[in-house]
Amino acid sequence: MIKVLVAEDSPVVREFLVYILGSDPDIRVVGTARDGEEAINAARRYRPDVITMDIHMPKMDGLEATRRIMETDPRPIVIVSGSCDPREVATTFNAMEAGALAVLGRPAGIGHPDHEATARGLVQTVKLMSEVRVVRRWPHARRDASAPRPAEIALARDTAKIRVAAIGASTGGPPVLQTILAALPRDFPVPLLIVQHMAAGFIQGFAEWLAQSSGLPVHVAMHGEHLVPGRVYVAPDEFQMKVEHGGKIVLTKDEPESGLRPSVSYLFRSLAEVYGGDAVACLLTGMGRDGAAELRLLRERGALTLVQDRESSVVHGMPGEAIRLDAAMFVLPPDKIAAVLMNLAKKR
């Protein structure tokens, strides 16, 4: 039985969430909270397996509550937001930086055509997140972006050929991507493509949140646009993203792969076909195996391949599978991944 705490200031929404979660036989809602302070106390009292957290609450908002819970008694936290407005979504992703694992839109009301699908998505996400290992976040702790080891600097191949970079991520990915992008120089010499698994409706706000801390322009990719060095392209909701010869982005409604659209595998395959060894590709924290076999294909074609290490990953599924397949040339924490990419820029 998965024990869940629901933190939501609206009585109507709170009871709605309790109803949806309590309808599943594997979930028991052990408590509710009307504000951030109550959420902290309830987390300590009930020791839930998962907390669903609203952002906008009185006394203490969900961002601060998330930060304090992750600093004192860490629990898997799922942000359930009533707004997909890009101007407000930044706060949601700040909560992920503080340690929340996932963000979802509030399920549609009973009678709405999307009610069953969105309610099922909430239940599935809570179940998945209950299996995730979380660690304590130390207040104001920051890893030093130390230089990579000499072997990482050498890279064992001519990096001057690199013409494109790509990163795939899932659970736990947003703050890692933020760390990497914030470290890259404004004159980063190649375009960077990103596939981040995320609930529908949040990608635009996610791209704007990344742009706040990056010196590189970040935007949601558009069909038919040509890749430009030093720009970051984020795959949009419900589209597969690939590249074609001539450096053009193509968005398609091709079928989901392993239930995913956008899929890292779909993007990486196109990179292998179009760029071959002139690419650098990276798999970050995330559940499942998306992109792992295609990262091996890229390595076989001569590309530079990186994955995030187990110690810094929230979930080591995707990078772990890539390691099992011998797809990764380097296994590194986020700061070292950023350092290797910066080294590419210096070599160029």
- 35, 81, 130, 170: which one is catalytic? 170
Strand partners, 169: 196
* CB-CB contact of 173 with 284 (8 Å): yes
The DSSP letter of residue 329 is S
Q: Catalytic site residue 290?
A: yes
Give burial (CB, 10 Å; 0-12/13-18/19+) of 285: buried
Q: Catalytic site residue 313?
A: no
- 130, 197, 263, 309: which one is catalytic? 197
- 49, 61, 290, 335: which one is catalytic? 290
d(CA 203, CA 239): 12
Radius of gyration of the chain (CA): 20
The amino acid sitting at 217 is: P
d(CA 118, CA 109): 9
- Give the dihedral of Cα atoms 15, 20, 23, 29; nearest 10 deg: -60
Q: Catalytic site residue 170?
A: yes
Q: Is 292 helix (H, G, I), strand (E, B) or coil?
A: helix
As annotated, the active-site residues are 170, 197, 290
